[in-house]
Chains A and B, each alone.
Chain A
């Protein structure tokens, strides 16, 4: 028989050294996670070998080369990292409040739509590129916020299930994108929006110091630090932490729970909307239903695994984007489909998700000495 119990706190150290327990406990969970990561790489390696008959070590080396091999590749990695990180960081306030915002995908898309609309309609109005970029950023945030407010209001008022509501909002956003694509079609008949303002480059992120994607990175870093401070140090952040832990305590502390829910989801939606701005103005210069590209969902996993800690999100995002890019690199090198990256990503996430159990619970096989 197997007996499962909640893992207590690490308490090997006593007395004066008791403060060490926290770090030791952290160490234990880190080791468990690393073992999970290692196991997942082994399983993926076996899978890669069975398909390609290639030495997995070579394959991983090829992945690293595919991601970091040239400075251009490195910057693309940083660009995609910036984008995923922005979304994950945007989700953090909502998740910390225990509000399941599954709607990041849609919030990114409407942000992207608002950005594209500004580029298309204001691109030739004669305003400066800087002003245009600011307008684009603000509109993308407004659009994302709007997408976040709806489910939040209904959650606050009538306790409408936010997981399912935000999920549906994704598809409304996708259809809305499909609605605009034929309107903005270029060239006619292509059923794509094409590169917006290809000639004037209006609304495109400017190169800074010769680096095309530096601005993306800067925005993501600023947002990450801002949200980190917001959650850790601000009054709002404090309210979010309390509401997320216990609504009873929040009421006891004279907080207006409904207002906090709506406000936080507005913020969460706005940051995800801004990610749409990064995707369109900073990378694709076009919009389609694939603009969000599943990042809204991957970001949920990132935010969850990082336990709402924005700094941990950097590490996890970096790893996932690396895997994605690396897998695509080996796929093209060995003439396989890109989808192999989703498989590897899935396997690694399964292992990491499963490892959480061993961090939170203790498994005992009975027959051993009883405690």
Chain B
């Protein structure tokens, strides 16, 4: 019996963990499809996380008996506002001002983690309160489960006993995949990321598409921060650099998924499983556990090398990735 319980725990940890990086990664796929490499994903996830927490905190502290669902809405709104703001900073600098994407992204990561950890750490102090910030009521709304199949053993725990954001991310992945592959706008977006000059000549507004993709991408990545704060760590704040680590893992996942949203779904769970695998292999020293956590990155490097070796066109990064577009450069 204990093994089954262990397996269920592994699956549950994997899915929660995978959900965080899947959000981050889906957002980054969206951004990279337009030809912009945003290394600010960790920063944006930070901003999304703190935006949600801030919203919920302000709401819960301003009314006597907070309604969880209202808290949920306000938190989500806070997340979207903050993460899109991060996306806008990045877009304005890299698209309009053509600043270097790598450097801007890294700066955004520094900025985002600063903003988030600053407010996360001193929010209650600034508001005159004491102790650790906590938004229990709102968090409960995020963690509410459905219990659809309460009487079937295991299935409920494996498939259904999660907060709604675990399912939302899969829906987003499917919608994104359909958008990219099945709509005219998605086609135009791909063209912008592959060959902006050709897209421009075909009458596509390259700047508009790039802004749209980076900001939508930022919003999706930001939701990862929200899920982490509200569900994964249950409505508190921890200044432990975890979001940053998860953010980089999300960037890795983009490569692993070879820029395909649907592949990011199982990729995210695979990363989660690899990351937590050590818990379920008995007799590991603490040191060896860390080697297991290295696996997602190693796997990503192997994918990266394989992709460059096989040169299969469908699996390559968007050709214009990392390059600014200026029509008169031709």
So, do A and B actually touch in the complex, CB under 8 Å?
yes
The residues of A with any CB-CB pair to B shorter than 8 Å are 4-6, 51, 100, 102, 154, 158-161, 163-165, 167-172, 174-176, 178-180, 182-183, 294, 297-298, 300-301, 304-305, 335-337, 339-347, 349-350, 353-354, 356-357, 360-361
Contact at A182–B285, with CB atoms within 8 Å?
yes
- Inter-chain contacts of A343 with B (CB < 8 A): 111, 114-115, 118
Docked CA distance A335–B122 (Å): 9
Q: Enumerate 18 A-B pairs (CB-CB under 8 Å) in ascending A order.
A: A154-B308, A160-B305, A161-B304, A171-B252, A178-B290, A179-B287, A182-B286, A182-B290, A301-B103, A304-B100, A337-B121, A342-B110, A343-B114, A344-B114, A349-B107, A354-B93, A356-B99, A361-B98
| Residues A168 and B304 in contact in the complex (CB < 8 Å), given A175-B291, A297-B110, A301-B107 | yes
Docked CA distance A339–B92 (Å): 24
Contact at A158–B108, with CB atoms within 8 Å?
no
Contact at A304–B103, with CB atoms within 8 Å?
yes
Contact at B118–A350, with CB atoms within 8 Å?
no
Contact at B304–A353, with CB atoms within 8 Å?
no
| Residues A175 and B110 in contact in the complex (CB < 8 Å), given A180-B287, A182-B285 | no
- Inter-chain contacts of B92 with A (CB < 8 A): 354
Shortest CB-to-CB span from B258 to chain A, Å, is 12
Docked CA distance A288–B92 (Å): 36
With both beta carbons as reference points, the residue of chain A lying nearest to B100 in the complex is identified as A304
- Inter-chain contacts of A294 with B (CB < 8 A): 110
| Residues A342 and B111 in contact in the complex (CB < 8 Å), given A176-B294, A179-B291 | yes
- Inter-chain contacts of A102 with B (CB < 8 A): 39, 102, 106
The residues of B with any CB-CB pair to A shorter than 8 Å are 37, 39, 89, 92-93, 96-100, 102-104, 106-118, 121-122, 125-126, 239, 245, 248-249, 251-252, 255, 285-288, 290-291, 293-294, 297-298, 300-301, 304-305, 308-309, 317, 322, 326, 328
Docked CA distance A100–B92 (Å): 22
Of the candidates B115, B304, B322, B328, the one whose C-beta lies within 8 Å of that of A6 is B328
Docked CA distance A305–B300 (Å): 30
Most A CB contacts (10 A, CB to CB) among B107, B108, B111, B125 go to: B107
Docked CA distance A343–B103 (Å): 16
- Inter-chain contacts of A167 with B (CB < 8 A): 39, 248, 251-252
Contact at B322–A163, with CB atoms within 8 Å?
yes
Contact at B117–A337, with CB atoms within 8 Å?
yes
Contact at B103–A353, with CB atoms within 8 Å?
yes
Of the candidates B121, B290, B301, the one whose C-beta lies within 8 Å of that of A168 is B301
- Inter-chain contacts of A350 with B (CB < 8 A): 89, 93, 104, 107, 111
- Inter-chain contacts of B96 with A (CB < 8 A): 357
- Inter-chain contacts of A180 with B (CB < 8 A): 287
Contact at B294–A158, with CB atoms within 8 Å?
no
Shortest CB-to-CB span from B295 to chain A, Å, is 9
Number of A-B contacts (CB under 8 A): 155
| Residues A349 and B110 in contact in the complex (CB < 8 Å), given A182-B285, A300-B102 | yes
Docked CA distance A183–B118 (Å): 33
With both beta carbons as reference points, the residue of chain B lying nearest to A159 in the complex is identified as B308
Contact at A300–B103, with CB atoms within 8 Å?
yes
Known: A158-B309, A167-B252, A349-B107. 18 other contacts (CB 8 A): A4-B326, A158-B308, A159-B308, A161-B317, A171-B294, A175-B297, A176-B290, A179-B287, A297-B110, A298-B110, A301-B106, A305-B103, A343-B118, A349-B110, A350-B89, A353-B93, A353-B104, A353-B107
Contact at B93–A337, with CB atoms within 8 Å?
no
Docked CA distance A343–B294 (Å): 30
Shortest CB-to-CB span from B117 to chain A, Å, is 4
Of the candidates A51, A164, A175, A353, the one whose C-beta lies within 8 Å of that of B290 is A175
- Inter-chain contacts of B114 with A (CB < 8 A): 339-346
Contact at A163–B248, with CB atoms within 8 Å?
no
The 3 closest A-B pairs by CB, nearest first: A346-B111, A342-B114, A178-B290
Docked CA distance A340–B255 (Å): 33
Shortest CB-to-CB span from B319 to chain A, Å, is 12
Docked CA distance A5–B326 (Å): 9
Shortest CB-to-CB span from A282 to chain B, Å, is 24
Shortest CB-to-CB span from B125 to chain A, Å, is 7
Docked CA distance A47–B153 (Å): 54
Shortest CB-to-CB span from B293 to chain A, Å, is 5
Contact at A172–B298, with CB atoms within 8 Å?
yes
With both beta carbons as reference points, the residue of chain B lying nearest to A165 in the complex is identified as B304
With both beta carbons as reference points, the residue of chain B lying nearest to A191 in the complex is identified as B286
Of the candidates B109, B112, B285, B309, the one whose C-beta lies within 8 Å of that of A297 is B109
Shortest CB-to-CB span from A3 to chain B, Å, is 10
Docked CA distance A171–B42 (Å): 14
Contact at B304–A175, with CB atoms within 8 Å?
no
- Inter-chain contacts of A346 with B (CB < 8 A): 107-108, 110-112, 114-115
- Inter-chain contacts of A339 with B (CB < 8 A): 113-118, 121, 239
Contact at B93–A175, with CB atoms within 8 Å?
no
Docked CA distance A51–B99 (Å): 30
Contact at B300–A168, with CB atoms within 8 Å?
yes
- Inter-chain contacts of B326 with A (CB < 8 A): 4
Contact at B106–A297, with CB atoms within 8 Å?
yes
With both beta carbons as reference points, the residue of chain B lying nearest to A353 in the complex is identified as B99
With both beta carbons as reference points, the residue of chain B lying nearest to A358 in the complex is identified as B97
Docked CA distance A72–B121 (Å): 28
